[in-house]
């Protein structure tokens, strides 16, 4: 019987999705496969695929869907060997990548469980990006509560916080629009393969702890539903529920 435990994750820039899934991975709740991580690893190991990826970066062209699929196939297969649910982030990002992705999961005898859509207003996205700083002294990431804040909470340097050049309202607005269009397009294409596939909406507003709590509830309910449907293959998703407020996010 195909194993129904793969979720796809989508969210606009500044939705906090990567941070949230990295925490759930540390807790053993999910097996998180991010295309950014996987491609960076290939590039740094200078594998043949990594060199091809590097050429795309150098020439400033998008990775071809065939190349992304080749890079992701092993990562997805390995992730699916574990007991936890698998969350794939960043692939398929565009509608043209949906076909190659479907081939991978069908060859691995996996079935999509659902799509997780992190919902964030443009206003909050702009706000988060405007308050994002990098410490030039310790290279730590800092969230300031007012634009005048200029002291690093990690290394206590004063006057060391700087803003990334592309963290402007104009750039974030454009990226948000691009994301919204490509997500709608990609989801439509996914639905041509699985018309009844569930789209789980998760609010990405609020604090990181709040987002994590919402995700934990989602995975708990997905697990309960799965156990009801497959009484003979009860899966342990592992770990206890995180207690909000004690998760130790970097500020
Ligand atoms: Zn610092």
pLDDT digits (tens, 9 = 90+) for 73-128: 999 999 998 888 999 999 999 999 999 999 999 999 898 999 999 999 999 999 99
Three-class HEC string of the chain: CCEEEEEEEEECCCCCHHHHHHHHHHCCCEEEEEHHHHHHHHHHHCCHHHHHHHHHHHCCCCCCHHHHHHHHHHHHHHHHCCCCEEEEECCCCCHHHHHHHHHHHHHCCEEEEEEEEEECCHHHHHHHHHCEEEECCCCCEEECCCCCCCECCCCCCECCEECCCCCCHHHHHHHHHHHHHHHHHHHHHHHHHCCCCEEEEEECCCCHHHHHHHHHHHHHHHHHHHHHHCCCCCCCCCCCCCCCCCCCCCC
Tell whether 20 and 133 lie within a shared domain.
Answer: no
Tell whether 128 and 109 lie within a shared domain.
Answer: no
Q: How far is the CA of 9 from the centre of ligand 1 (A)?
A: 31
Q: How far is the CA of 136 from the centre of ligand 1 (A)?
A: 7
Q: What is the pLDDT of residues 178-199, one digit of tens each?
A: 999 999 999 999 999 999 999 9
Q: How far is the CA of 140 from the centre of ligand 1 (A)?
A: 6
Tell whether 185 and 67 lie within a shared domain.
Answer: yes
Q: How far is the CA of 96 from the centre of ligand 1 (A)?
A: 41
Tell whether 51 and 95 lie within a shared domain.
Answer: yes
Q: How far is the CA of 133 from the centre of ligand 1 (A)?
A: 10
Q: How far is the CA of 167 from the centre of ligand 1 (A)?
A: 19
**Which structural domain range is residue 180 located in?**
3-119+173-229
57 in a structural domain: yes
Domain count of the fold of the chain: 2
237 in a structural domain: no
Tell whether 97 and 23 lie within a shared domain.
Answer: yes
Q: How far is the CA of 101 from the centre of ligand 1 (A)?
A: 40
Q: How far is the CA of 132 from the centre of ligand 1 (A)?
A: 13
- The pTM of this model reads 0.83
């Amino acid at each position: 019987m195909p194993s129904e435990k793969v979720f796809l994750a989508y969210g606009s820039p500044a939705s906090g999705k990567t941070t949230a899934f990295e925490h759930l991975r540390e807790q053993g709740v999910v097996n998180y496969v991010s295309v950014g991580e996987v491609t960076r690893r290939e590039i740094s190991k200078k594998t043949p695929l990594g060199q091809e990826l590097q050429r795309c970066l150098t020439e400033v062209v998008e990775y071809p869907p065939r190349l992304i699929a080749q890079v992701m196939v092993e990562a997805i297969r390995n992730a699916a060997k574990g007991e936890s649910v698998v969350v794939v982030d960043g692939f398929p990002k565009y509608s043209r990548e949906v076909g190659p992705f479907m081939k991978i999961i069908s060859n691995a005898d996996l079935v999509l469980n659902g799509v997780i859509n992190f919902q964030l207003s443009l206003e909050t996205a702009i706000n988060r990006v405007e308050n994002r700083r990098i410490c030039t002294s310790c290279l730590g990431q800092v969230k300031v509560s007012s634009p005048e804040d200029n002291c690093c909470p990690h290394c206590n340097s004063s006057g060391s916080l700087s803003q990334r050049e592309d963290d402007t309202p104009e750039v974030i607005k454009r990226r948000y629009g691009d994301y919204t269009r490509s997500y709608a397009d990609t989801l439509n294409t996914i639905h041509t393969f699985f018309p009844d596939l569930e789209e789980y909406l998760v609010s990405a507003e609020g604090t990181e702890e709040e987002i994590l709590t919402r995700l934990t509830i989602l995975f708990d309910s997905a697990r309960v539903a799965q156990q009801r449907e497959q009484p003979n293959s009860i899966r342990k998703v592992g770990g206890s529920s995180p207690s909000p407020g004690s998760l130790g996010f970097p500020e």
